[in-house]
Chains A and B, each alone.
Chain A
Amino acid sequence: MIICKKIWEMTCHNMIIVTLMLFLITGSLIMTGILVKKQEKSQENADRFEEEYGENQYYWVTEALDDRQYYTYLEGDYNGTQYKGLVNVLQSLWDEKQFSFCTCCCQSFCTNSKMQDIFLEGYEDGYADFAVSKRNGTDWYEVKTLMVSEKFFEINHINVKSGEKFSQQDYLWKEGEIVPVLLGKSYENFYHINDVFSGEYFGKELTLKVIGFLDDNSFYLSSSKNDFVSVERYMVLPALEIEEKTEFSQLLSLMELNGTIVSKTGFQNTGGICTELIENQGLKWELNLHNPQDESPQFVVKKYRKMTGQVAEQFRILVLLVMVFAIIALLINSFSILKKNQYAFGVELLCGASYKNILMEGAGFIFFILFTGDLWAVLFLLAMNSGIRSIILIQIIVGTASVITLICCIVYMKKMEIGDIIGGQE
Chain B
Amino acid sequence: MIKVVDLKKIFRTDEIETTALDGINMEIKQGEFVSIMGPSGCGKSTLMNILGLLDNPESGEYHFLDQEVSKYTERQKAQLRKENIGFVFQSFNLIDELTVYENVELPLLYLKMSSSERKKKVEEALERIQMMHRKNHFPQQLSGGQQQRVAVARAIVCNPKLILADEPTGNLDSTHGDEVMKMLTELHEGGTTIIMVTHSPTYAEYGSRTVHLFDGKIVTENFSGVFHL
Whether A associates with B in a native complex is no
Which residues from chain B sit less than 8 Å from chain A, CB to CB?
A: none
Which residues from chain A sit less than 8 Å from chain B, CB to CB?
A: none
